[in-house]
Amino acid sequence: MSDVEAEVAGNLAAVRARIAAAAAEAERDPDEVTLIAVGKVQPVERVEAALAAGQRVFGENRVQEAQGKWPALRARYPDVELHLIGPLQSNKTREAVALFDVIQTVDRPKLAAELAKEMARQGRRPDCYVQVNTGEEPQKAGVLPADADAFIETCRVEHGLPLVGLMCIPPADEDPTLHFALLRELAKRHGLTRLSMGMSGDYEDAVRLGATHVRVGTAIFGARHYE
């Protein structure tokens, strides 16, 4: 095993152990929580190390980066499940529907309409989440909480999207637990069973508050080095 393989495998085991402990504290079954490894910007060697350690669920936040990386890896690991967790432009829906198993960032009517059209065209129906901008931050994607009820109904009724859950990214400088609780209540109200919340700094809080999917990058792969 190379140094990188050992490091990534060790980090994965540590994160899994902390997820299990947080689930136990909340009297939840740890198997209810899926760890999404976020390999964006990381050298492909690190992503391959995670695959070698048995990790199969991954998140990417850019369609183009994912297109450059995953087709080749998937040929070797066909059971990979790929989640889009970054903003999606309406003109990239074709590529996104073709590549991803789950699209977590549905957040506006035009995008919902384009996704529905592409799904019909391709005969592929990736699970969808609505992203909620729980902190109402102007620079952040996601539907505002006040508009969420109507938007969720639009996705389901008007566009027939396979909507399964909600996703949020709390403001960096706020207590995330209030945001996680808000997301959970909203999901419950709509009978949505999946909650994508929690990142490297707060995934244990998210698990305690009901996350079914946590998106963890740095704690698995180390710091990202942007060019």
Ligand X SMILES: *Cc1c(COP(=O)(O)O)cnc(C)c1O
- Which residues of the chain form contacts with ligand X (CB under 6 A)? 38, 40, 61, 85-86, 169, 199-201, 215-219
Minimum CB distance to ligand X smaller for 68 or for 201:
201
For residue 65 the two structure tokens come to: 């980066």
Minimum CB distance to ligand X smaller for 117 or for 218:
218
* Beta carbons within 8 Å of 32's beta carbon, 6+ residues apart: 23, 212
Q: How far is the CB of 106 from ligand X (least distance, A)?
A: 14
Minimum CB distance to ligand X smaller for 156 or for 164:
164
Q: How far is the CB of 156 from ligand X (least distance, A)?
A: 23
Minimum CB distance to ligand X smaller for 177 or for 218:
218
- Cβ atoms of 39 and 221 closer than 8 Å: yes
Minimum CB distance to ligand X smaller for 85 or for 187:
85
Q: How far is the CB of 97 from ligand X (least distance, A)?
A: 19
Minimum CB distance to ligand X smaller for 144 or for 150:
144
Q: How far is the CB of 206 from ligand X (least distance, A)?
A: 11
Q: How far is the CB of 140 from ligand X (least distance, A)?
A: 10
Q: How far is the CB of 57 from ligand X (least distance, A)?
A: 13
Report the residue closest to ligand X, judged by CB.
Answer: 217
Task: Give the chain as a 3 state SS string.
Answer: CCHHHHHHHHHHHHHHHHHHHHHHHCCCCHHHCEEEEECCCCCHHHHHHHHHCCCCEEEECCHHHHHHHHHHHHHHCCCCEEEECCCCCHHHHHHHHHHCCEEEEECCHHHHHHHHHHHHHHCCCCEEEEEECCCCCCCCCCECHHHHHHHHHHHHHHCCCCEEEEECCCCCCCCHHHHHHHHHHHHHHCCCCEEECCCCCCHHHHHHCCCCEEEECHHHHCCCCCC
Residue corresponding to tokens 């505002």: 144
Please give the distance of CA 219 from its chain centroid, rounded to a whole number: 15
Q: How far is the CB of 40 from ligand X (least distance, A)?
A: 6
What does residue 211 show for φ and ψ, rounded to 5 degrees? -55, 135
Minimum CB distance to ligand X smaller for 38 or for 209:
38
